[in-house]
Amino acid sequence: MTADSSPQPPPPSRQASVTSAGAADDVARDPTARATGESPPSVRRLVEGATALLAEAGVASPRVDATALAAHALGVERVVLALLPEAPPEGFQARYAALVERRRQREPLQHIVGTTGFRHLTLRVAPGVFVPRPETETVAQHAIDEAARVAATGVVPLVVDLCCGSGAVALSVADEVPGAHVVAVDLSADAVALTRRNSEETGLALRVEPGDVRDPGLLADLAGTVDVVVANPPYIPPDQVPVDPEVRDHDPDLALYGGGADGLEVPRAVIAAAARLLRPGGLLVMEHAEVQAAAVRVMACADGALVDAATITDLAGRPRALLARRADAAARA
């Protein structure tokens, strides 16, 4: 989750010119193709037209998105443009134009196609639930590595994903550390339902529960026994409204804004929950915004329950997550 800047949507006059039938021609950049009796533009040419339209609308990865939408309209997982047949299948042009128009209006690609990739999984996404982001794959990696390390000692790892959203992190742990017991919690009923659905559809077993990380009784039956607590909580401060329409207008506020003036109310609660749930030596992995690295390290170690706080970077080298361990009870005494 980021609040990066991006160009704004296209001006209304241009939007108004793209209606269903007209959009198909617009997409192809060849409004005369049908009128002159020529054969319809090739899929490749339609994708090129759509790429230009999406770029104009400020979409960050126009070619990737135009190609993914073509695959969706063709009913296949992905397309290699060079291998496509010249002639589009019956109805393709209109179907494609409608999808491109939705993306041009900055509806997230993942909402349009209904799925997203996360590590090795294809997961269902839905309006009302946060779309998993690539940077969280690094956070998941640390949880997976720790769970695998525990499993290698002959112990069944117990992993809790707080603020699970679609279940992306929890399901990746279940997928990549076979035999691990994984628990996923979210305050949003929509997120809980989607995580359950993704669990069923991937065949990866989870314990999924509605719950509020601010509740001191959350998962009381697991207190002091958990090997890894992993979380990508909401953490944006209230005055830093994301600029990208895909985020601002489509991710739920509950998933974005962390509460309090600094956005750290929910992350603070995650740290407190981790201190309760982790066994001595257990690991907390928690995503945060770049500017929050020092603050969350201080928060984590404030009362001595967690130690060894460190910041890890994402693939772009930005400081984006906290690691901390539950203090050994004897060492604290």
Q: How far is the CB of 139 from ligand SAM (least distance, A)?
A: 8
Nearest-10 Cα torsion for 254, 260, 266, 268: 170
**Residue the block writes with tokens 């305050």:** 187
- 49 or 258: whose CB is closer to ligand SAM? 258
CB 240 within 8 A of CB 234: no
- 166 or 202: whose CB is closer to ligand SAM? 166
Burial pattern 34-51, b for ≥16 Cβ within 10 A else e, equals beeeeebbbbbbbbbbbb
Q: How far is the CB of 263 from ligand SAM (least distance, A)?
A: 11
Instruction: Give which of 251, 249, 255 is closest to 236, Cα–Cα.
Output: 255
Instruction: Give the binding-site size for ligand SAM (rule: CB under 6 A).
Output: 23
Q: How far is the CB of 208 from ligand SAM (least distance, A)?
A: 12
- 188 or 199: whose CB is closer to ligand SAM? 188
Does 279 interact with ligand SAM (rule: CB under 6 A)?
A: no
Residues in the chain: 333
- H or E element at residue 185: strand 181-186
- 14 or 214: whose CB is closer to ligand SAM? 214
- 76 or 261: whose CB is closer to ligand SAM? 261
In whole angstroms, how large is the CA radius of gyration of the chain?
Answer: 23
Does 123 interact with ligand SAM (rule: CB under 6 A)?
A: no
Q: Which of 67, 93, 232, 292 binds ligand SAM (CB under 6 A)?
A: 232
Instruction: Give which of 240, 236, 223 is closest to 275, Cα–Cα.
Output: 223
Q: Which two tokens stand for residue 48?
A: 């090129």
- 93 or 172: whose CB is closer to ligand SAM? 172
Q: Which of 51, 67, 136, 172 binds ligand SAM (CB under 6 A)?
A: 136
Q: Which stretch binds ligand SAM (CB under 6 A): 50-58, 83-91, 184-192, 303-311?
A: 184-192
Q: How far is the CB of 228 from ligand SAM (least distance, A)?
A: 14
Residue 212's φ and ψ, nearest 5 degrees, are: -115, 125
Does 292 interact with ligand SAM (rule: CB under 6 A)?
A: no
Beta strand 319-326 pairing with 115-118: unpaired
Side-chain half-sphere CA neighbours of 105 within 13 A: 18
Does 169 interact with ligand SAM (rule: CB under 6 A)?
A: yes
Q: Which two tokens stand for residue 53?
A: 């339209």
Residues 18-77 that bind ligand SAM (CB under 6 A): none
Does 168 interact with ligand SAM (rule: CB under 6 A)?
A: yes
Looking at residue 220, the DSSP 8-state letter turns out to be G
Does 196 interact with ligand SAM (rule: CB under 6 A)?
A: no
User: Which residues touch 122 (CB under 8 Å, ≥6 apart)?
Assistant: 115, 116
Q: Which of 29, 34, 207, 214 binds ligand SAM (CB under 6 A)?
A: 214
Does 262 interact with ligand SAM (rule: CB under 6 A)?
A: no
- Determine the angle formed by the axes of helices 20-28 and 92-104, rounding to 10 degrees: 90
Q: Which of 14, 212, 248, 301 binds ligand SAM (CB under 6 A)?
A: 212
Sequence-distant contacts of 176-180: CB under 8 A, at least 24 apart: 176/119, 176/120, 176/144, 176/148, 177/144, 177/147, 177/148, 177/151, 179/151, 180/147, 180/151, 180/156
Q: Which of 10, 49, 132, 263 binds ligand SAM (CB under 6 A)?
A: 132
Q: Which of 50, 69, 121, 266 binds ligand SAM (CB under 6 A)?
A: 266
Does 199 interact with ligand SAM (rule: CB under 6 A)?
A: no
User: Which residues of this protein are in contact with ligand SAM, per CB under 6 A?
Assistant: 1, 130, 132, 136, 163-166, 168-169, 186-188, 191, 212-214, 232-234, 254-255, 266
